[in-house]
């Protein structure tokens, strides 16, 4: 099985021992505490589940700047984005050595982790700008990732953490939320050797389904892990339970038994394009995937990134051997009217745009809202029905 990133074994920071967990929860009641940002809570969940192996906690300024500028911590660990706990105000934890971190995304702000405070430093405005530019490729405040990153403060609280809760993800998505530990274990149980991962935050159309089949066939994979983002979405996105039901229906009907797993992870989208694609590859390696599909404008938003920047970053900027996972490069896939099947558009050079069945997201939402199933060349009828029911429920 593929090794975790930067370590021989996975390093989940969640405290699984129940006695120890109980003692830490008790200790947390007496510690100085602070409500952290949604991004920092997402980082805690990812570190808790082992996805961010080999990190042991939040980075300090030097490590964060190293990861932003050259994807490397000061000790030489490859990591494509800073993983930080940024706060606007640190008065409540000024001289504390240990603090309780509270979850901003749950009622009553329960404790999500305990942190040993190694340092409290402040990023300069110039450093914030450098990090923003390097990670997001822009400093435009209209970019949702840039806006979120620059809205949470400049105080950087660094040090190791012990994670006590997986936020709302485990409670709200018990059937889908999985840690890297659990996915690794299940891959081993299923006896899969070659495993390709597919990232999604939407229901899967026929083109996505066929892309997964294509990748499995060409790579000779035993298994596919459909790994969906369960964090905060943009307005208008389809809620996770509906998306979950649609994807499960597709797998049940159109994938052979024991060939696909439907799972999810808790994190907020960064919309950081190429850098986020590298982060996605890194944590897929940690969960046991040997290959990862990266398509056109992966993790992008608006027109901030070139169509294939998220693929070329692996050639140009990721150091040789930094990651063991391999990338399966995909172009847009769509139904070809000439060939009567789904193809990668780059592999059909003799096609014009009108030779493909292409529908915009807006158009599809309109159809579903009117109770009309998209053409079978675009969407499986059983999947479309689940989405139609959802959109119809909004109108009543």
By annotation, the residues acting in catalysis are: 201-202
Q: How far apart are the first and last CA of the chain?
A: 50
Give phi and psi for 51, each to the nearest 5: -65, -30
How do strand 98-102 and strand 33-35 relate by DSSP bridges?
Answer: parallel
Does the CA dihedral 133-134-138-141 come out positive or negative? negative
CA distances from 321 to 5, 9, 318, 335 (A): 11, 18, 8, 36
Give phi and psi for 376, each to the nearest 5: -65, -20
State which H helix or E strand residue 81 sits in. Answer: none
How do strand 86-87 and strand 57-58 relate by DSSP bridges?
Answer: unpaired
Six-digit token string for 107: 């009622």
CA distances from 307 to 271, 277, 291, 317, 335 (A): 14, 13, 20, 17, 20
Query: What angle separates helix 361-369 from helix 381-395, to the nearest 10 degrees?
Result: 70
Q: Which residue has the tokens 């009543």?
A: 396
Query: Which among 58, 50, 182, 53 is positioned nearest to 114, based on CA atoms?
Result: 58
Strand order in the sheet with 333-336: 341-344, 333-336, 356-357
CB 197 within 8 A of CB 284: yes
d(CA 345, CA 330): 9
d(CA 82, CA 47): 13
d(CA 193, CA 289): 9
Query: Which among 148, 149, 182, 178 is positioned nearest to 166, based on CA atoms?
Result: 178
CA distances from 350 to 42, 146, 307, 347 (A): 45, 40, 21, 9
d(CA 173, CA 127): 37
Tell me if residue 316 falls in helix, strand or coil: helix
């Amino acid at each position: 099985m593929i090794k975790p990133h930067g370590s021989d074994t996975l390093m989940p920071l969640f405290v699984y021992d129940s006695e120890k967990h109980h003692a830490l929860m008790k200790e947390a009641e007496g510690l100085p505490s602070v409500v952290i940002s949604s991004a920092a809570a997402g980082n805690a969940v990812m570190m808790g589940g082992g996805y961010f192996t080999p990190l042991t906690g939040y980075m300090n300024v030097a490590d964060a700047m190293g990861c932003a500028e050259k994807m490397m911590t000061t000790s030489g660990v490859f990591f494509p984005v800073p993983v930080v706990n940024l706060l606007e105000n640190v008065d409540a934890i000024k001289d504390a050595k240990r603090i309780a971190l509270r979850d901003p995304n749950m009622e009553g702000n329960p404790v999500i982790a305990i942190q040993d405070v190694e340092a409290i430093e402040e990023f300069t405005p110039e450093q914030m700008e450098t990090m923003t530019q390097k990670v997001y490729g822009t400093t435009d405040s209209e970019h949702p990732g840039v806006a979120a990153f620059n809205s949470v403060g400049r105080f950087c609280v660094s040090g190791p953490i012990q994670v006590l809760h997986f936020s709302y993800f485990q409670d709200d998505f018990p059937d889908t939320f999985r840690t890297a530990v659990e996915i690794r274990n299940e891959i081993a149980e299923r006896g899969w050797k070659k495993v390709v991962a597919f990232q999604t935050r939407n229901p899967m159309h026929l083109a996505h389904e066929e892309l997964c089949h294509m990748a499995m066939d060409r790579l000779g994979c035993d298994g596919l892990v459909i790994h969906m983002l369960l964090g905060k979405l943009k307005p208008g996105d389809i809620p996770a339970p509906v998306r979950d039901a649609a994807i499960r229906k597709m797998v049940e009907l159109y994938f052979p038994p024991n060939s696909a797993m439907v799972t999810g992870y808790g994190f907020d989208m960064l919309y950081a394009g190429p850098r986020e694609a590298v982060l996605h590859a890194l944590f897929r390696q940690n969960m046991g995937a040997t290959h990862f599909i990266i398509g056109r404008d992966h993790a992008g938003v608006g027109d901030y990134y070139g169509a294939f920047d998220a693929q070329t970053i692996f050639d140009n900027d990721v150091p040789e051997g930094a990651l063991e996972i391999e990338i399966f490069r995909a172009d847009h896939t769509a139904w070809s009217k000439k060939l009567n099947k789904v193809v990668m558009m780059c592999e059909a050079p003799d096609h014009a745009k009108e030779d493909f069945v292409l529908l915009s997201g807006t158009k599809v939402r309109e159809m579903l809202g009117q109770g009309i199933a998209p053409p079978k060349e675009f969407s499986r009828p059983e999947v479309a029905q689940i989405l139609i029911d959802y959109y119809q429920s909004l109108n009543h």
